[in-house]
Amino acid sequence: MEIYHLRYAPSNRATFVFDLQRFAGGEKTEEPTAKKRADARKKGQVGRSQELNTAFVLLVGFFTLKLLWDSIYLSIASYTTYVFTNLNQSVDTENIIHIFIGIIVVLAKTAFPVMFAIMLIGLAINFFQVGLTFNTESIEFKLDKLNP
């Protein structure tokens, strides 16, 4: 009981202990050497802006949709009209396969140009930020990266 009383009782003297390392800045005082930068680059630790990539992907995605909207609309509308005008067909495997192949073709004609433009701009922005880097260390499975 006395230990609790002595340890947690208010006193007149200040018993604060300041760890000055908590106030130290995280900035490095010296620039990294060329070897350290090359080693970090080999490990895939390069600085790149995810916001820049996201902004350009959204911009190009919306621009591509705006540019190709008439073609996309006409393709979907014409196939929908085709399906609804042929509803009196018998339901058999051949007709269902034909309809699904048509859906896949329409999806490819409408979505592929937009996805291709987004993929190209994503690759281009990453290339302009960090150059051509390929390593296998950044995609290796490591148990210490899992959050329990």
List the one residue out of 37, 8, 17 whose CA is nearest residue 131: 37
SS3 content of the chain, % helix, strand, coil (to 5): 70, 0, 30
| Domain residue ranges of the chain, discontinuous segments joined by + | 50-131
The angle at the Cα of 107, spanning 102 to 108, to the nearest 5 degrees, equals: 100
Q: In a structure prediction context, what are the per-residue pLDDT tens digits for the chain, which is 148 residues long?
A: 444 445 555 555 555 555 566 665 666 667 777 777 777 666 666 667 788 889 999 999 999 999 999 999 999 999 999 999 988 888 899 999 999 999 999 999 999 999 999 999 999 988 888 777 777 776 777 777 777 6
Cα angle for residues 54, 59, 63 (degrees, 5° grid): 150
- Predicted TM-score (pTM) of the model is 0.61
Backbone angles phi, psi at 24, to 5 degrees: -70, 140
